[in-house]
């Protein structure tokens, strides 16, 4: 059985459900441990009572050390701080042979088992950002992305996991400082610092806004996606995509961030993903009619600063998958 864990609050609940549904569709034998970071998410998830899911509240999860540093971190920083602790919690409390942390805004297009087959006798698996040249932020954000990270319950795995937890508890902030950034820059030297660390080879693991420009979508069979590299012409199948920075605003606006996404990727991947989030919202509203996915207020009369930051804004034309791209403009 494959053991996964993730963490999110109510702001990411619909994304977390969409991620789980995609994993459920692609993977036959798995268990997902969800660390609910607020009461709203916890209560809704427990009412939904999904098979193959264990919901863990903050009251169950947080220990004295985490509680002592919680007030020194922002909400995002605290989530980053807790990432290694969630993995360790699953291994210690549920005696899992291994555990893979996955971000809640991933979406699976194929069975991730092929990724684990790469590990062979290694104990840890990490994923490269694979930045394109124009989007390269490795010096600040790190070579590797915490989005999908595996630890086996063995001496090598626990050595690295405990080291990472201690490092994050000591320092984990949303800024670059002394070679550190959040929970992520710590991974940069793991292949030389520790034994048993494998870097994922499969290009289909870790598709994301910061690297998708170097790949060409060549085929779509139902929910399966096939790409090839533009330089080497190497064909591969998508395993998961990281929908980083998908944000909901008022007035039906959805922001997908600063990175330019190819139109074909927008049409074949992003629009379908937004529909999956809408479907998840329908599920959630059946148990909580007042629930909303809106994260940010958007004021058309005063959006100059936002206009400078955001390159792409999408407006929902219908509740389903009809969207149109529109530039920010004065109303």
Q: Which tens digits make up the pLDDT trace of 56-112?
A: 999 999 999 999 999 999 999 999 999 999 999 999 999 999 999 999 999 999 999
Is residue 271 within 8 Å of residue 325, measured between CB atoms? no
Distance CA 7, CA 183 (A): 14
For the domain covering 2-203, report its CATH number.
3.90.550.10
pLDDT at 244: 93
173 pLDDT higher than 70:
yes
Q: Shortest CA distance to 235 belongs to which of 202, 198, 269, 272?
A: 202
The answer to whether the beta carbons of residues 45 and 51 sit under 8 Å apart is no
- Give the residue range(s) of CATH 3.90.550.10 domains in the chain: 2-203
Which pLDDT value is given to residue 223? 84
Interatomic CA distance for residues 257 and 311, integer angstroms: 7
Q: Residue 217 pLDDT more than 50?
A: yes
What pLDDT is attached to residue 80?
Answer: 98
The residue that leads in pLDDT, 245 or 2, is: 2
**What mean pLDDT value characterizes the chain?**
89
Instruction: Please name the residues in contact with 129: beta carbons below 8 A apart, sequence gap of 6 or more.
Output: 137, 138, 141, 142, 143, 144, 145, 206, 208, 210, 211
Residues 6+ apart with CB under 8 A from 233: none
pLDDT at 320: 35
112-137 pLDDT per residue, tens: 999 999 999 999 999 999 999 999 99
Query: What is the band of 292 on the pLDDT scale with cuts at 50, 70, 90?
Result: confident
SS3 content of the chain, % helix, strand, coil (to 5): 40, 25, 35
pTM of the model: 0.91
State the pLDDT at residue 312.
46
């Amino acid at each position: 059985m494959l053991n996964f864990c993730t963490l999110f609050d109510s702001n990411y609940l619909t994304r977390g459900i969409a991620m789980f549904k995609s994993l459920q569709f692609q993977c036959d034998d798995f268990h997902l441990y969800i660390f609910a970071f607020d009461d709203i998410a916890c209560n809704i998830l427990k009412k939904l009572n999904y098979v193959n899911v264990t919901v863990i509240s903050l009251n169950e999860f947080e220990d004295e050390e985490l509680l002592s540093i919680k007030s020194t971190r922002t909400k995002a920083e605290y989530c980053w701080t807790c990432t290694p602790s969630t993995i360790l919690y699953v291994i210690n409390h549920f005696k899992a042979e291994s555990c893979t942390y996955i971000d809640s805004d991933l979406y699976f297009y194929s069975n991730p088992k092929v990724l684990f087959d790469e590990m062979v006798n290694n104990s840890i698996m990490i994923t490269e950002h694979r930045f394109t040249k124009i989007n390269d932020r490795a010096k600040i954000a790190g070579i590797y992305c915490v989005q999908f990270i595996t630890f086996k319950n063995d001496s090598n795995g626990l050595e690295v996991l405990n080291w990472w937890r201690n490092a994050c508890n000591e320092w984990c902030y949303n800024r670059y400082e002394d070679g550190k950034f959040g929970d992520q820059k710590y991974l940069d030297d793991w292949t030389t610092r520790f034994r048993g660390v494998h870097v994922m080879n499969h290009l289909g693991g870790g598709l994301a806004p910061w690297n998708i420009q170097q790949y060409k979508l060549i085929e779509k069979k139902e929910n399966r996606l096939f790409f090839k590299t533009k330089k080497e012409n190497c064909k591969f199948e998508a395993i998961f995509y990281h929908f980083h920075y998908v944000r909901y605003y008022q007035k039906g606006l959805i922001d997908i961030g600063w990175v330019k996404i190819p139109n074909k990727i927008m049409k074949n991947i992003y629009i379908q993903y937004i529909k999956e989030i809408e479907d998840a919202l329908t599920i959630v509203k059946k148990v909580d009619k007042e629930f909303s996915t809106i994260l940010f207020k958007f004021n058309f009369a005063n959006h100059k600063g936002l206009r400078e930051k955001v390159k792409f804004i999408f407006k929902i034309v219908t509740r389903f998958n009809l969207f149109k791209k529109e530039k920010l403009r004065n109303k």
